[in-house]
Amino acid sequence: MKILICDDDEAVVSMIRFKLTREKLGEVSVVNNGRDAKAILNDMHFDLVITDIHMPYCSGIEITQYIRETLKRSTPIIILSAEGLEDTVLQAFQMGATDFISKPFSLAELAIRVKRILSSQ
Amino acid sequence: MKYFTLTYLIQAFSEEVNILLSISVILLLLSIALVLFILISRLVKSYHLKKEEKFKQLFREIIYGISVQEKNRSDQESDLALTELNKNIHSVFGQQVLIDELIHVRKNVVGTSADNIYAVYLNLELHKNSLKKLKSISWVTKARGIRELAEMDYSNAILQIEQLLSAPQQTIREESILALIRLSKNNSFNFINDYKGEITPWIEINIHKHLLTLDARKLPNFSLWFNHSNRSVRSFSIKMTRLFRQIESVPDLLLLLSEADKDIALLAADAICDMAGQEYATPLAEILSNTWDYDQISIRLMNTMASIGDPDIHSKFLTPFLSHPDYEVRLATVRALEQLNGTEQHIQVLEKDKQVAIQQMIAHVNNTFLN
């Protein structure tokens, strides 16, 4: 399984990568901004995308929109956000996000959610 | 040869030229010293940055490893990680880099990961480093210490931080309040009882931001501080009551409308406008006459009555305000009455010229192009 993590916070990215690798959930790729995320999504296929909302160049919502509308892929997407505002959550789901996790988050919970999504594919 | 010696040159020139030469030489030396100072400080800075980056890379790998460990992790694994970290924090610089990294990681995680990070902070006795900062002469260091203890949820520091609530430096007081609110496990806000300083808008924003992350049902009843001796605390508690919609506090807010401090009364009126439901229409109507002298409060209450009042019961409380000396209050009254059951029936008792003026207001209020 191939997982893409998009977040500009190195700590967050590294912790998720550590956790998912430790749980042997798949091969993890990392990008630090929206532009690189789009580029890598164009070139490669992923089984799961975990993206932050606020990133340089383009947001997690835009990436979700890009995957669904431009690439026309049904890749599961987990959105991470420091703001758990109702509007943001709704917008993420309207764009086609599979799940939403507010920061600060539990790494154990994230791993379980990832496991569940990947096993349902 | 003698033409080139310094003594010959000094003797050869006039006194004025010598002075100028001396100044030039001093300036030249100063410039060289300045350039050297800039170069050295840049070198020192880049050395520290490199050192910091080296520490960061080293610590991060270990911290991330610790943060993903399960609850029932092997002690041997943890001990190894701690020993590795311990080896590199003999200097204050190394300790500071590690504290910053721990804080940064802990901000993003909850649950076991956050507990693991906290355990590192305690086991390596980094809390002592933060506590030591509270005694520093520099207010920047002191503020940093307070923030570190708050970010790491080190609640044993509550007493030490409480002592800084009356610090002369405003930033220290602000950081102390925020830290105490974060560290107060039962959200009791007890320290506010004796707080004598000012709660600035910056503090209010930050407290609100923090409280938003908590379960609203566990927040304290802010009406407890409506009659606090510190005006700033009263204002803060009214704002929080409004922002967290503590509707059960509306009766206490109604009492504040008769407050001598009109800014407090106005805040209370704003909160009432925002929260009061129909069940509070009668007590609000009964208190209206007390607000006659305070136009802004009357206007706000009229607007509230317009949406929660009962035409048959409450109109009689509003009608006296049709003769209010202030135009805006009269207009708000007309607007409220129009929304309830119309104004016309209440203006018969007024003098003829006042009736005409009110009729013009009614026309204004009902004009869809103007509203």
Contact A102, A82 (CB under 8 A): yes
Q: Hey, is the C-beta of B107 within 8 angstroms of any chain A C-beta?
A: yes
Q: What pLDDT shows up at residue B9?
A: 66
Q: What pLDDT shows up at residue B306?
A: 87
pLDDT at B2 over 70: no
* Cβ-defined contact of B108 to A108 (cutoff 8 Å): no
Please give the Cα distance from B255 to B55 (Å, whole number).
59
What letter represents residue A89's amino acid? V
ipTM entry: 0.83
Whether residue B130 lies inside any domain: the answer is: no
B98 contacts on A by Cβ (under 8 Å): none
Q: Comparing B20-24, B59-63, B256-260, B344-348, which segment has the lowest mean pLDDT?
A: B344-348
| Look-up of token digits 């509203």 | B371
Looking at every residue in chain B, the average pLDDT score rounds to 87
Q: What pLDDT shows up at residue B72?
A: 59
Q: For chain B, what is the domain count?
A: 1
* Residue closest to A109 by CA, chosen among B124, B114, B328: B114
Whether residue B282 lies inside any domain: the answer is: yes
| Look-up of token digits 């170069």 | B39
Contact A8, A44 (CB under 8 A): no
pLDDT at B239 over 90: yes
* Cβ-defined contact of B113 to A15 (cutoff 8 Å): yes
Whether residue A43 lies inside any domain: the answer is: yes
State percent of chain B over pLDDT 90.
37
Whether residue B344 lies inside any domain: the answer is: yes
Whether residue A18 lies inside any domain: the answer is: yes
| Look-up of token digits 């049709």 | B322
* Cβ-defined contact of B64 to A109 (cutoff 8 Å): no
Q: Comparing A70-79, B39-48, B70-79, which segment has the lowest mean pLDDT?
A: B70-79
Taking the mean position of all CA atoms in its chain, how far away is CA B144? 16
Whether residue A22 lies inside any domain: the answer is: yes
Looking at every residue in chain A, the average pLDDT score rounds to 90
Tokens of A54: 């606020």
Whether residue A68 lies inside any domain: the answer is: yes
CATH code of A81's domain = 3.40.50.2300
Q: What pLDDT shows up at residue A35?
A: 93
Whether residue B368 lies inside any domain: the answer is: yes
Q: Residue A69 gets which letter from DSSP?
A: I
Q: Hey, is the C-beta of A8 within 8 angstroms of any chain B C-beta?
A: no
B101 contacts on A by Cβ (under 8 Å): 11
State percent of chain A over pLDDT 70.
98
Q: How far is A54 from chain B (nearest CA, A)?
A: 14
| B contact residues 49-88, partner A, Cβ 8 Å cutoff | 60, 64-65, 67-68, 70
- Per residue in B102-134, is it b (16+ CB within 10 Å) or e — as a string? bbbbbbbbbebbbebbbebbeebebbebbbebb
Whether residue A105 lies inside any domain: the answer is: yes
The answer for residues whose C-beta is within 8 angstroms of residue B40's C-beta and 6 or more apart is none
Residue B187 binned pLDDT confidence (cut-offs 50, 70, 90): low
pLDDT at B1 over 60: no
Sheet harboring A48-52: ordered strands across? A27-31, A2-6, A48-52, A77-81, A99-102
Please give the Cα distance from A44 to B331 (Å, whole number).
66
Q: What pLDDT shows up at residue B64?
A: 87
* Residue closest to B268 by CA, chosen among B252, B280, B282, B283: B252
The answer for residues whose C-beta is within 8 angstroms of residue A56's C-beta and 6 or more apart is A8, A32, A33, A34, A35
Q: How far is B67 from chain A (nearest CA, A)?
A: 7
Q: What pLDDT shows up at residue B146?
A: 96
Q: How far is A46 from chain B (nearest CA, A)?
A: 23
Q: Residue B109 gets which letter from DSSP?
A: B
Q: For chain A, what is the domain count?
A: 1
Quick: pLDDT tens for A87-107. Answer: 888 888 998 999 999 888 999
Please give the Cα distance from A32 to A34 (Å, whole number).
7
In this complex, the residue of A11, A22, A105 whose CB is nearest that of residue B110 is A105
Cis, bond preceding A104 (omega within 30 deg of 0) = yes
Residue of A14, A53, A83, A113 best to disrupt the B interface, most CBs of B under 10 A: A14
Q: Hey, is the C-beta of A68 within 8 angstroms of any chain B C-beta?
A: no
Read off the pTM: 0.73
Indicate the angle between helix axes B15-67 and A10-22, nearest 10 degrees.
30
Q: Hey, is the C-beta of A108 within 8 angstroms of any chain B C-beta?
A: yes
State percent of chain A over pLDDT 90.
64
pLDDT at B257 over 90: no
Whether residue B355 lies inside any domain: the answer is: yes
Mean pLDDT to the nearest integer, B223-248? 93
Q: What pLDDT shows up at residue B74?
A: 59
Whether residue B291 lies inside any domain: the answer is: yes
Quick: pLDDT tens for B117-158. Answer: 999 999 999 999 999 999 999 999 999 999 999 999 999 999
Whether residue B364 lies inside any domain: the answer is: yes
Contact A110, A101 (CB under 8 A): yes
B120 contacts on A by Cβ (under 8 Å): none
B113 contacts on A by Cβ (under 8 Å): 15, 106-108
Please give the Cα distance from B35 to B28 (Å, whole number).
11
Mean pLDDT to the nearest integer, B76-86? 79
* Cβ-defined contact of A18 to B111 (cutoff 8 Å): no
Contact A107, B113 (CB under 8 A): yes
Whether residue A120 lies inside any domain: the answer is: no
State percent of chain B over pLDDT 70.
95
Whether residue A118 lies inside any domain: the answer is: no
Q: In terms of residue numbers, what domain contains B294? A: 276-371
Whether residue A119 lies inside any domain: the answer is: no
Q: Hey, is the C-beta of A2 within 8 angstroms of any chain B C-beta?
A: no
Bridge partners for A101 per DSSP? A80
Residue of B67, B68, B98, B107 best to disrupt the A interface, most CBs of A under 10 A: B68
Whether residue B308 lies inside any domain: the answer is: yes
Please give the Cα distance from B151 to B118 (Å, whole number).
10
Mean pLDDT to the nearest integer, A61-71? 93
Q: How far is B65 from chain A (nearest CA, A)?
A: 7
pLDDT at B11 over 80: no
| B contact residues 118-177, partner A, Cβ 8 Å cutoff | none
Contact B199, B235 (CB under 8 A): yes
Please tell me which of A12-26, B173-187, B302-316, B338-352 the model is most confident about, judged by mean pLDDT.
Answer: A12-26
Q: In terms of residue numbers, what domain contains A85? A: 2-113
